[in-house]
Amino acid sequence: MSSNEVQKKKKERLWIKNATLVLLADILMVWLIGLIALFLRFDFSISSIPERYFTGYIYLTPLWCVITCVVFYICKLYHSIWSFVSLDEAIKVLGAYVIIGTCEVVSSLILHIRMPVSFYMVVIVGGAILHIGVRFSYRLLRRLIRGKGSLSSSSSSDNGERVMIIGGGDAGAVLIRDLKHSTRTNQIPVCVIDDNETKWGRSLFGVPIVGGKDDIITMAAEYNVDTIIYAIPSAPGLVRKEYLNIAKETGCKLRTVPGLYQLAQGDVSISNVRNVELTDLLGRDPITVDNEAVFNMLKGKTVLVTGGGGSIGSELCRQIAKHEPKRLIIFDIYENNAYEIQQELIRKYHDNLDLVVLIGSVRNTHRITSVMMDYKPDVVFHAAAHKHVPLMETSPNEAIKNNVMGTYKTAKAAAMAGVQKFVLISTDKAVNPTNIMGATKRICEMIIQMMERQTPNTRFVAVRFGNVLGSNGSVIPLFKKQIEEGGPVTVTHKEITRFFMTIPEAVSLVLQASYYAEGGEIFVLDMGDPVKIDDMARNLIKLSGKRPDVDIKIEYTGLRPGEKLYEEKLMAEEGMKTTENKLIFIGKPIEMDDEDFKVKLAKLDDDSKEDDENIRRYVMDIVPTYKPNTY
């Protein structure tokens, strides 16, 4: 017998045990209410009860016990957990007693056993009240034993973690009930914040609603709050940001419920409340895509992801694998990264995914060409690139070899193999670049647009987005590590800003772009307002329960080589066209001389191999908008 079957048997035995105890209690209550009914009818005097009525009670009660237990079982009243009995349970009991009462009267008439009318009324009405009362009394007793039976938060145990709930709606109610009943946590809800003024001064399951968002800081101090849980899953991103920006100033731990979809599925509980992350403070709703359209596009297709072991590449692989591709090919030069995503997908999909993992470099013409020709992918997502700005400033030739020539070689190989769609992962640093990494990515975009014009059978597009939160080499992991080490947290400039998005958002954009692709487009995400890096650093410190410049020092180190104060999404001449997804836009292709561009690419290739110190001048000749800080 398997462990699952053993566990199932244990659960069945436990249910039988509990249900039997409840059934015996119900039988006892049927006998008791009948006896009480007779006592009430005859003024609590046993000697006054006529023998025929007492005999009738003795004959009818066993039958009524059977009727009660059968109806309760049909109504699933033996499947409930008494610890969580609620109004729904009471309504079920009342509904069951409509049937029970009818059966009791009918059975009495059939057996020709006539009892006083008041007897029937007390047995039916009193029986319902008694069954409901016993069930609720168990819940009340359990709460009193656990020390949470008081109706006011002030008498709660001082040893618990005191919790403020933001949101007096459905999610907040679910959380409060869960906290009050759970034996797995010592968290105690002490107050609720809700901007609906009609709720102020009232209570939610005994927890007072004490004010709106402007009262968060005051009430957190007054109620000695340790943790604040944000419980408004349906609110837009800007509202969430507004609440959390106030809450983080309290110094309390911040947590949040899952999103609206999980609430609809009934998944909101204290067990899946998570810590507030920096993404919750961005003030922008998550990017959504037409999953069905993307699903239909990728289903049954052979898909190749270059750089498939990286932050973006690996998430691409995860989401593509969900869409039932015919085959997924991961191509990466770093075997450790490739191995990790390979093992993750094998564990999740087993034999349901045709997965091929190949090691190689996009700089190797023969390798990338042979991979394309051997596997004939339908769609290629090109995520392989050097992306670290300061490192590429000191090794510009490697940026040329990998980013520019690697993209050119991969694109040509894709065209030779008859690939249907080729999607380049680009960056907002390609717009008016001041660093070599951004300039190389701009050249990559130019390659894509040139290939689109010269290769009619393959659609070439690029996707441009900002910094990706949590990706390898991004600023957030660095800040978190510096905070863990006690600081200082290093920010290059107090006024520096960046556009930010999450890894899943970035990949959603890429997948959506591949669906929209008609050829030659540069897709751009509306990432909301740019975020100050200094604010992000301070928010991360506060989310960790520390105080900026007090517990953790912030140091300003100055802009690094090639770094801009702010990024742009589009060059002026590109314009902007909307798509069906209002958060995704298209920059139109820029006219250029393709043949002249090819000549310059060949020269750039030769120069990069020689480690020419003038490499930046050659890049400037190809990308007129490139203005390196050193010039």
The number of C-alpha atoms within 13 Å of 521 and in the hemisphere containing its C-beta is: 23
Residue 333 has a CB neighbour count (10 Å cut-off) of 19
Catalytic site positions: 429
List Cβ neighbours of 65 (8 Å cut-off, separation of 6 or more): 26, 27, 30, 31
pLDDT at 154 over 50: no
The top-scoring range by mean pLDDT among 38-42, 253-257, 342-346 is 342-346
Residue 397's pLDDT is 92
- In this structure, are strands 584-587 and 577-578 parallel, antiparallel, or unpaired? antiparallel
Q: Confidence band (pLDDT; 50, 70, 90) for 569? A: low
Out of 61-75, 478-492, 582-596, least confident range: 582-596
State pLDDT tens for residues 463-520.
Answer: 887 776 666 656 777 888 888 888 899 998 888 877 677 787 778 878 887 888 888 8
Q: Confidence band (pLDDT; 50, 70, 90) for 156? A: very low
The b/e string for 114-133 (b: 16+ C-beta within 10 A; e otherwise) is ebbeebeebbbebbbbbbbe
pLDDT at 136 over 80: no
Q: Confidence band (pLDDT; 50, 70, 90) for 282? A: low
Q: For the packed helices 615-622 and 436-454, what is the interaxial angle rounded to 10 degrees?
A: 40
pLDDT at 454 over 80: yes
pLDDT at 260 over 50: no
Give, for 602, the enclosing helix (H) or strand (E): helix 594-609
In angstroms, the Cα distances linking 212 to 183, 184, 196, 198 are 30, 30, 7, 11
Residue 58's pLDDT is 87
pLDDT at 262 over 90: no
pLDDT at 277 over 50: yes
Q: Confidence band (pLDDT; 50, 70, 90) for 273? A: low
Tokens of 289: 């895509």
The b/e string for 214-226 (b: 16+ C-beta within 10 A; e otherwise) is ebbeebbeebebb
Which bin fits 530, alpha (ψ -120 to 50), beta or left (φ > 0)?
beta
> How many whole angstroms separate alpha carbon 55 and alpha carbon 217?
69
Specify the length of the chain in residues. 631
Beta bridge pairs of residue 191: 164
pLDDT at 159 over 60: yes
pLDDT at 544 over 80: no
> How many whole angstroms separate alpha carbon 625 and alpha carbon 622?
9
pLDDT at 148 over 60: no
pLDDT at 45 over 70: yes
pLDDT at 8 over 70: no
The answer to whether 626 touches 429, Cβ cutoff 8 Å, is no
The answer to whether 237 touches 288, Cβ cutoff 8 Å, is no
Angle (CA) 201-205-206 rounded to 5° is: 55
The number of C-alpha atoms within 13 Å of 29 and in the hemisphere containing its C-beta is: 21
Give, for 206, the enclosing helix (H) or strand (E): none
State pLDDT tens for residues 171-180.
Answer: 888 888 878 7
Q: Confidence band (pLDDT; 50, 70, 90) for 88? A: low
Residue 487's pLDDT is 85
Mean pLDDT of 587-603: 86
Percent of residues, the chain, with pLDDT higher than 90: 27
Residue 19's pLDDT is 74
Q: Which residue's structure tokens are 């059975």?
A: 107
State pLDDT tens for residues 409-434.
Answer: 999 999 999 999 999 999 888 888 88
Give, for 126, the enclosing helix (H) or strand (E): none
Coil, helix or strand for 191?
strand
Domain with CATH 3.40.50.720 in the chain: 153-276, 291-622
**pTM, rounded to two decimals:** 0.63
State pLDDT tens for residues 300-348.
Answer: 999 999 999 998 899 999 999 988 999 999 999 999 999 999 999 999 9
What's the CATH fold of domain 291-622? Rossmann fold (3.40.50)
The answer to whether 434 touches 275, Cβ cutoff 8 Å, is no
Residue 371's pLDDT is 96
Strand ranges in 179-249 using DSSP code E only, listed in sequence order: 187-193, 203-204, 207-211, 227-230
pLDDT at 551 over 60: yes
pLDDT at 221 over 60: yes
What's the CATH fold of domain 153-276? Rossmann fold (3.40.50)
Percent of residues, the chain, with pLDDT higher than 70: 81
Minimal CA–CA distance to 377: which of 336, 418, 343? 418
CA–centroid distance for 447 within its chain: 36
State the amino acid at position 517 in one-letter form. A
> How many whole angstroms separate alpha carbon 28 and alpha carbon 365?
85
Q: Confidence band (pLDDT; 50, 70, 90) for 275? A: low
Coil, helix or strand for 105?
helix
Residue 117's pLDDT is 87
Residue 252's pLDDT is 85
Tokens of 618: 């050659």
